């Protein structure tokens, strides 16, 4: 692992959000099972307890999403901070090549999580407006399912980020975007030779 304030901050945020996400996922799965199972009779106490669990789940999900949104720019700042430590890297493009497959998967998941999270927040708010005395079971189930999808996607992304920061090694040599210009036999070398002859001096 390459240790500096940026990578440590990013790793800490990823690990903390993974814990929050796991707690929210467990509570969400339990709440979904309770709602889909249904009850033969509903008392005021059970309805109030269910509402309390839903609001706790909402805040856990909201905190998790906010943490993942904050981790998005921090991810690139951390990649930028290790450019000088990685052999062959001259910019973020080079540091992305430390673990290219994992890095690209994380980069694809981040915007997906952002949009899914916004849709869930809007849907949850609409479901709250439409909910009257515990009604609208279908809307509540849909909102919970979308939250669970967001949590699973976010956990994959945060866990992948933790693995990325732990596995980064300054001893790994990477190729940056300028590698092609360093090849002596590249096509762009032949062009001036063809135009000006063998006496061309680079």
Q: 178 falls in which pLDDT band (50, 70, 90)? A: low
178-183 mean pLDDT: 55
CA 114 to chain centre: 8
Give how far Cα 75 sits from Cα of 3, 42, 106, 162, Å.
14, 47, 10, 11
Q: What is the pTM of this model?
A: 0.76
Distance CA 69, CA 192 (A): 49
pLDDT in tens, 38-71: 654 556 676 677 777 888 888 999 999 999 999 9
8 A C-beta contact, residue 164 and residue 106: yes
172-197 mean pLDDT: 60
């Amino acid at each position: 692992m390459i240790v500096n304030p940026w990578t440590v901050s990013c790793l800490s945020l990823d690990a903390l959000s993974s814990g929050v996400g796991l707690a929210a996922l467990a509570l969400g799965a339990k709440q979904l099972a309770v709602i889909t199972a249904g009850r033969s009779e509903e008392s005021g106490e059970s309805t109030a307890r269910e509402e309390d669990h839903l609001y706790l789940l909402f805040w856990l999900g909201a905190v998790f999403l906010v943490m993942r949104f904050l981790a998005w720019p921090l991810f690139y700042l951390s990649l930028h901070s290790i450019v000088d430590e990685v052999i062959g890297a001259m910019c973020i493009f080079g540091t992305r090549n430390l673990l290219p497959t994992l890095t690209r998967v994380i980069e694809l998941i981040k915007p997906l999580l952002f949009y899914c999270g916004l849709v869930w927040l809007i849907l949850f708010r609409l479901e709250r407006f439409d909910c009257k005395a515990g009604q609208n079971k279908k809307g509540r189930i849909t909102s919970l399912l979308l939250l669970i999808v967001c949590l699973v996607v976010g956990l994959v992304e945060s866990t992948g980020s933790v693995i990325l920061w732990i596995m980064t090694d300054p001893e790994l040599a990477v190729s940056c975007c300028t590698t092609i210009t360093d090849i002596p036999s590249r096509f762009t070398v032949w062009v001036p030779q063809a135009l000006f002859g063998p006496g061309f001096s680079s």
